[in-house]
Amino acid sequence: MITDPEDVGALEEFLANIVPARELAATMQDAAFHAEGDVWTHTKLALTALAAMPAWVALPAAESAIVATAVALHDVGKPSTTREENGKLTSRGHSARGDHLVRAALWRDGTVPFAVREQLCALVRSHQVPFFGITKPDAERLAIRLSLVTRNDWLALVAEADGRGRRCADPADQARIIDNCLLWAEHCRELGVLDRPRAFASAHTRRVWFESESRHPDVLAHDDTTCEVILMSGLPASGKDHWLRTARGDLPVVSLDDLRDELEIDPADAQAQVIAVARERAREHLRERRSFAWNATNLSASLRAQLLQMARDYGARTHVVYVEASAAEQAARNRARPIPVPPKVVERMVMRWSVPDLTEAHEITYVSAP
């Protein structure tokens, strides 16, 4: 973690196993919004700007370290996403790429606590939102949504440092970015979501709010759910089967691994038949209003969204159980499996892996595998 924003040696050491400083230095940026040049120069300027911001100085030590570390990491996705389009340099997608790089590296390192790691990932993933968030027609919903995954005051500080740590060809562009960051913080303060998550009348009200623009967070939604669907999530060999056996052994389980065995389909082959059978068995449970668990890796938010929407279409309450083991433990367990998942396959999973959050389901349970 970064505690002194101007300690360049500590910064280089911290970044070494994520994206080394030399790669950041070799990545140029478009001069219109980054006339200072490369990403490494910009990162150092952003950290210097952060150190001079009174709001950051006033934070407790643990919080200031999270914000400083997020500033250090905010553009690590640029080396792998920067390209030239129509004569201009663009790094479209660098925020999402940075999120994945940070999660993978800090999981392997194992020294940053899970909750802190996920805060860093959320700040990196959303660090550009305050640049334009206040101008969006759904600015209120955006602020509320973000309050459920990070702190908007931290996010505003990261974005402001990003804005101050650059040199725009037109100084008015930099001034606009900084002003929008300050306005975002004030917007979130007025909504009561600057330094805390938005409270909802109930978990079901929160879920309905995400699906209806007319729903107010304080008005209790009638809970008409008929059963519960538990969606397991986690890397292979993280402990999902163990959790289901010990915590919810009473539930019927739709397991992709079991179906592959039943249908005699190799994991490396096409999985369309496995998925089709799994979905039909899930629908059988849902039609009977019977609670069940869906057991698979479910590592991407988009895949989880499809399955959770199917459950909600049948009136089910949704509960995602995310299980995580340390990198060393996960690798050891995987090697011990009768048919290990190839390391290259696990690596591909790691680089698209996202951790579920409260924007996705009625309930999220985080489990640290024993």
Domain ranges of the chain: 8-191, 227-368
Strand ranges, E, within 205-306: 227-233, 253-255, 292-295
Strand partners, 28: 38
Measure the CA–CA gap between 270 and 87, rounded to whole angstroms: 41
CA atoms within 13 A on the CB side of 58: 6
Beta strand 253-255 pairing with 227-233: unpaired
Q: Which helix (H) or strand (E) is 179 found in, with range?
A: helix 171-191
DSSP assigned state of 112: S
Centre a 10 Å sphere on the Cβ of residue 202 and count the other Cβ atoms it contains: 14
Task: Note the pLDDT tens digit of each residue in 39-57.
Answer: 999 999 999 999 999 999 9
Q: Check: CB of residue 184 under 8 Å from CB of residue 133.
A: yes
* Per-residue pLDDT at 119: 98
Given the candidates 3.40.718.10, 2.60.40.10, 3.40.50.300, 3.30.70.80, the CATH classification of the domain at 227-368 is 3.40.50.300
Task: Note the pLDDT tens digit of each residue in 107-135.
Answer: 999 999 999 999 999 999 999 999 999 99
Task: Note the pLDDT tens digit of each residue in 12-34.
Answer: 999 999 999 999 999 999 999 99
* Per-residue pLDDT at 269: 77
Whether 369 has a pLDDT exceeding 80, the answer reads no
Residue 87: pLDDT band by 50, 70, 90 thresholds? confident
Residue 75, judged by CB atoms within 10 A of its CB (0-12, 13-18, 19+), counts as buried
Whether 155 has a pLDDT exceeding 80, the answer reads yes
Task: Note the pLDDT tens digit of each residue in 317-341.
Answer: 999 999 999 999 999 999 998 888 8
Measure the CA–CA gap between 85 and 282, rounded to whole angstroms: 45
* Per-residue pLDDT at 359: 96
Average pLDDT value for residue range 203-228: 93
Residue from 247, 271, 276 nearest 260 by CA: 271
* Per-residue pLDDT at 213: 84
Measure the CA–CA gap between 8 and 102, rounded to whole angstroms: 19
Q: What one-letter code names the amino acid at 329?
A: E
Average pLDDT value for residue range 151-168: 97
- N-terminal to C-terminal alpha carbon distance within the chain: 26
142 Ramachandran zone, left/alpha/beta (phi>0; psi -120 to 50):
alpha
Mean pLDDT of the chain: 95
Whether 370 has a pLDDT exceeding 70, the answer reads no
Residue 218: pLDDT band by 50, 70, 90 thresholds? very high
